[in-house]
């Protein structure tokens, strides 16, 4: 196909692939901006990009929602051009030896709840909340969390009539079993409460380093899901959150107390963690664990008025870390170095205020994507993961790069916007 998409996005090297098709690095020839370009054959049996692009259109304007730059058909491909983002929270979790400090988890929790709340305010459930589907931004947005992968998203209510989808049972598991809510395992139709329960498991995964139902062995996928379900149901909230602040128990108790159609009190959940944050004496300075690991003696400290100062010495207490072996450390060290170099220019913290626009939503055309318990082959720009939609292996593609490369994080911290089941939009700039 033509190496220029939509008349202005030049295709570079291939940086990822998966069940959705292929992902390329691109550059806007008019501005020099680097972008991500997803290609999907028009002959694919289960097209996805039309549906995903519609979700992007409906969600545009929200904080932490990647910008859809162009969608259309070029030659034999459906093409979507979107923002290039940074590493996923799973990538950063691995870089931090698979354990995050309470301070980092609480700073993330505030943004993550906002992202879920925004999607819900637009009438959609995400249904695949996991670390791989949250990415950090780049440059001045390096402290901002983005939510990606709307392939399993589902409309749960009509924004005009506010009619909620009906309660159903005997549903197949949709999403990722590790983070699925108990009700999802039990076959109950998902609603807003389930996204939030899944988010709770993500937070405990970061704090604990793993969840009690990881590593279970079984002969078939169904048997494994059943084992995960049994372990999850039999593990009390108190046991799951043992040795951690009681606010996490309160979070789960609240999520599990919600009825199917209930609107969650997102402010209450954020307040739980904000009050804990203040009580612990932390400063909301956007100094995450990965910041400290890279700059243990020189930390960017945001000042009042949006200017950044440099402070010598560790800004926060280093969390206790477990060893993950030299291979993992080597794999991520170069990426983190490049990530830090690219983002040290950020001069002010990103204030996270979700924009709940009052404009009417365009109506999504009818779509049906069968709920599936299958783990989707995942891919981040240039890799696939054993268990998730987004991973962090460097691309091994030997294809020539048509774009002059800078020594940035793109070569290693690559990610993919992966989805399931779409529908249509004509080629256009968004």
Looking at residue 245, its pLDDT comes to 99
Lowest mean pLDDT among 161-175, 271-285, 379-393: 379-393
Q: Calculate what percentage of the chain has a pLDDT beyond 90.
A: 58
Tell me what pLDDT residue 144 has: 97
Among the listed residues 83, 91, 128, 149, the single catalytic one is 128
Question: Residue 110 catalytic?
Answer: no
Q: Identify which of 6-20, 109-123, 131-145 has the greatest average pLDDT.
A: 109-123
pLDDT at 17: 67
38 assigned binding-site residue? yes
Question: Model confidence over 240-293: pLDDT tens digits?
Answer: 999 999 999 999 999 999 999 999 999 999 999 999 999 999 999 999 999 998
Of the ranges 79-88, 197-206, 287-296, 325-334, the best mean pLDDT one: 197-206
Predicted local confidence at residue 73, as pLDDT = 93
pTM: 0.70
The pair of structure tokens assigned to 90 is 């799973």
The overall average pLDDT reported for the chain is: 76
Looking at per-residue pLDDT, the higher value among 46 and 39 belongs to: 39
- Average pLDDT of the residues in 6-26: 83
């Amino acid at each position: 196909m033509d190496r220029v998409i939509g008349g202005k996005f030049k295709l570079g090297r291939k940086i990822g692939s998966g069940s959705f098709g292929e992902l390329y690095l691109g550059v806007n020839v008019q501005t020099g901006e680097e972008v991500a370009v997803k290609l999907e054959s028009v002959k694919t049996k289960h097209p996805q990009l039309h549906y995903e692009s519609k979700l992007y259109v409906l969600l545009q304007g929200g904080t932490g929602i990647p910008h859809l730059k162009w969608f259309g058909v070029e030659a034999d491909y459906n093409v979507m051009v979107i923002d290039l983002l940074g590493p996923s929270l799973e990538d950063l979790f691995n870089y931090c030896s698979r354990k995050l400090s309470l301070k980092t988890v609480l700073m993330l929790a505030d943004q993550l709840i906002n992202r879920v709340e925004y999607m819900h305010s637009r009438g959609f459930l995400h249904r695949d909340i996991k670390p791989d589907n949250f990415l950090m931004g780049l440059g001045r947005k390096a402290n901002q969390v983005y939510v990606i992968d709307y392939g399993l998203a589902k409309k749960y209510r009509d924004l005009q009539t506010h009619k909620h989808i009906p309660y159903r049972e005997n549903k197949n598991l949709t999403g990722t079993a590790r983070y699925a809510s108990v009700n999802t395992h039990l076959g109950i139709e998902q609603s807003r409460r389930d996204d939030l329960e899944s988010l709770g498991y993500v937070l405990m995964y970061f704090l604990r380093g793993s969840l009690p139902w990881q590593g279970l062995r079984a002969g078939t996928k169904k048997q494994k899901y059943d084992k995960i379900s049994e372990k999850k149901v039999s593990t009390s909230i108190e046991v799951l959150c043992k040795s951690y602040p009681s606010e996490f128990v309160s979070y789960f108790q609240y999520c599990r107390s919600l009825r199917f159609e209930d609107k969650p009190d997102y402010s209450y959940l954020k307040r739980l963690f904000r009050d804990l944050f203040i009580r612990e004496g932390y400063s909301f300075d956007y100094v995450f664990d990965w910041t400290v690991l890279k700059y243990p003696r020189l930390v960017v400290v945001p000042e009042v008025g949006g200017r950044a100062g440099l402070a010598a010495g560790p800004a926060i207490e280093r969390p206790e870390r477990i060893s993950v072996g030299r291979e993992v450390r080597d794999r991520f060290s170069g990426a983190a170095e490049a990530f830090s170099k690219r983002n040290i220019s950020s001069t002010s913290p990103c204030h996270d205020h979700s924009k709940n626009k009052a404009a009417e939503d365009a109506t999504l055309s009818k779509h049906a994507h069968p709920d599936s318990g299958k783990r989707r082959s995942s891919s981040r720009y240039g890799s696939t993961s054993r268990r998730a939609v987004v991973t962090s292996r460097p691309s091994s593609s030997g294809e020539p790069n048509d774009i002059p490369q800078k020594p940035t994080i793109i070569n290693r911290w690559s990610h993919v916007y992966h989805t399931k089941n779409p529908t249509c939009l004509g080629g256009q700039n968004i």
